[in-house]
Structure 1
């Protein structure tokens, strides 16, 4: 039976890797212009590979 491993959640964004921020301007149809911003630590994936985790202690 295969083992399922849990993905490690990015500690910088808590797994919420992207945010949409409104700029305040509007398109001609009335919708707002938004910017999609990705977490710089995980590059928008929400998870971090095991190699990037830092070990604490000995």
Structure 2
């Protein structure tokens, strides 16, 4: 398990593991497993929490 920099803001949705490979259970003809590569939609695969943006509303 990788060690995180304490100053970096780790994404709370993926806990810093931004990309994963999931096996579907089926196999290709050569015997290897079919995998899906998924990236975290919150941090878009960076592993770092997105920064909050301040928006002024009103006058």
- Aligning the two structures, in what range does the TM-score lie when normalised by the shorter sequence? 0.5 to 0.7
| TM-score, structure 2 normalization | 0.66
Q: How many angstroms does 1:51 deviate by?
A: 3.5
- The aligned counterpart of 1:47 is 48
Gap regions ≥5 residues in structure 1: 1-5, 53-58
Pairwise CA RMSD of aligned residues? Answer: 1.6
- For residues 10-58 of structure 1, the C-alpha deviation after alignment (integer angstroms, 9 at most, x for no partner) is 0111101112111111111101000011111001110124436xxxxxx
- Aligned residue pairs total 47
- The aligned counterpart of 1:9 is 10
Gap regions ≥5 residues in structure 2: 1-6, 54-59
